[in-house]
Copies of this chain bind each other. A is one copy, B any other.
Amino acid sequence: MIVVLRSDATHDEALAVEHALRAAGSEPQRLAGERIAYLANGVSQDLVRALPAVAEWFESPATHPMASRPGPRTVVTVCEQHFGDGHVQIVAGPCAVESPEQVDAVASACAALGLRVLRGGAFKPRTSPYSFRGLGLDAMRWLREAANRHGLAVVTEVMEPSAVDAACELADMLQVGSRNMQNFPLLAAVGRTRTPVLLKRGMSATLEEWLLAAEYVLEGGNEQVVLCERGVRSFDPAARNLLDLAAVPLLRARTHLPVIVDPSHGVGVRDAVIPMACAAVAAGADGVMVEVHPDPGSARSDGFQALTVPMLGELVARVRAIERAMTK
């Protein structure tokens, strides 16, 4: 951040600002110029706003130097499947893994449609303690077996640092869910692995906060991070969330990391999933992730937003048509 003092700031006030920036853990560098200004990393806007001698400040890319480094775009590779290589990656699978049969049916359908990455929940974060919270390690094994049977890569959610190792053994990509986007011990834990990470946007996270969450993972040494837009909190009960598709082009200008979109959670209304998947691709997303269930009416969680298998087929066809139209 560059911090500029008021033109009438006194020497003592400047010392006080330096003191405050140092106290906040930064090593401020005085910049040349008639007005007094500093380069100071790692300090918050809230802090500088509160210093009376400060007139202005602005964020530099150095706020999240790894997430916004210049240079080539990152391609994230999950078992030879790519995110960010110019093709649209379609990830699909059940909200929750419910039985070996259910996940095999979905995996089989995905493979038949040419998809290569299977999602599925084994440990489910649920708003109510009385809701179905997933079948745990058993589910993770069924997911793995179904994926192996059909030649698919696996992405699944981890909810706590102590579960990361087991997940790395069974999954090819670790999802950090919306509710955990600022679970910093978890971000650090997945950052210590070399397994690719799917980082969902928090319920009401700004793009800046989201990139800083990614920075936690990157800073740990794991450079394989895919961002996943999944809607933010809104005042309108018409939808479950408000899908922020403009995040796609706005992030493209801010980060080299791939960005995909989850229209299932992003709207939470089955009939809107296909149009919004198409819209995401038209906006430039590197992929989409959707929930599918062999029998959504019997799903143990979020069945209302799951696609049927035939709908998944329609989605794939329509998304591919948009993709072709964009690359012509």
Is A268 an interface position by the 8 A CB rule? yes
| Minimal Cβ-Cβ distance residue in B for A273 | B249
Q: Is the CB of B160 within 8 A of A185?
A: yes
Q: Is the CB of A126 within 8 A of B184?
A: yes
Is A209 an interface position by the 8 A CB rule? yes
Q: Is the CB of B184 within 8 A of A159?
A: yes
CB contacts under 8 Å to B, within A232-255, are: 232-240, 242-250, 253
Binds B, one of A82-90, A103-111, A145-153, A211-219: A211-219
Binds B, one of A70-78, A136-144, A165-173, A299-307: A299-307
Binds B, one of A113-121, A192-200, A278-286, A308-316: A278-286
Across the interface, A305 reaches (CB within 8 A) one of B50, B130, B281, namely: B50
Q: A33 CB to closest chain B CB, in angstroms?
A: 4
- Contact bitstring A59-75, B, C-beta under 8 A = 1, else 0: 00001100000000000
Question: What number of copies of this chain does the assembly contain?
Answer: 4
Q: Is the CB of A298 within 8 A of B23?
A: yes
Q: Is the CB of B282 within 8 A of A322?
A: yes
By a CB distance below 8 angstroms, the chain B residues around A2 are 55-56
Question: How far, in angstroms, from A182 to B34 measured CA to CA in the complex?
Answer: 41
Q: Is the CB of A131 within 8 A of B44?
A: yes
Question: How far, in angstroms, from A304 to B50 measured CA to CA in the complex?
Answer: 5
Is A24 an interface position by the 8 A CB rule? yes
Across the interface, A246 reaches (CB within 8 A) one of B57, B233, B253, B276, namely: B276
Q: A256 CB to closest chain B CB, in angstroms?
A: 16
Q: A208 CB to closest chain B CB, in angstroms?
A: 7
Q: A201 CB to closest chain B CB, in angstroms?
A: 10
Q: Is the CB of B249 within 8 A of A275?
A: yes
| Minimal Cβ-Cβ distance residue in B for A188 | B129
Is A180 an interface position by the 8 A CB rule? yes
Task: Indicate whether A55 sits within 8 Å of B55 (C-beta atoms), given known contacts A19-B298, A236-B206.
Answer: no
Q: Is the CB of B184 within 8 A of A183?
A: no
Q: Is the CB of A282 within 8 A of B284?
A: no
Across the interface, A275 reaches (CB within 8 A) one of B235, B284, B301, B321, namely: B284
User: Which of A7, A23, A328 counts the most chain B CB atoms within 10 A?
Assistant: A23
14 A-B contact pairs sorted by A residue (CB < 8 Å): A2-B56, A16-B297, A35-B35, A44-B301, A49-B304, A207-B238, A232-B236, A242-B242, A246-B267, A248-B275, A249-B276, A321-B325, A322-B325, A325-B325
10 smallest beta-carbon distances between A and B, as pairs: A50-B304, A325-B325, A282-B282, A42-B130, A204-B204, A279-B283, A179-B182, A278-B282, A25-B132, A279-B279
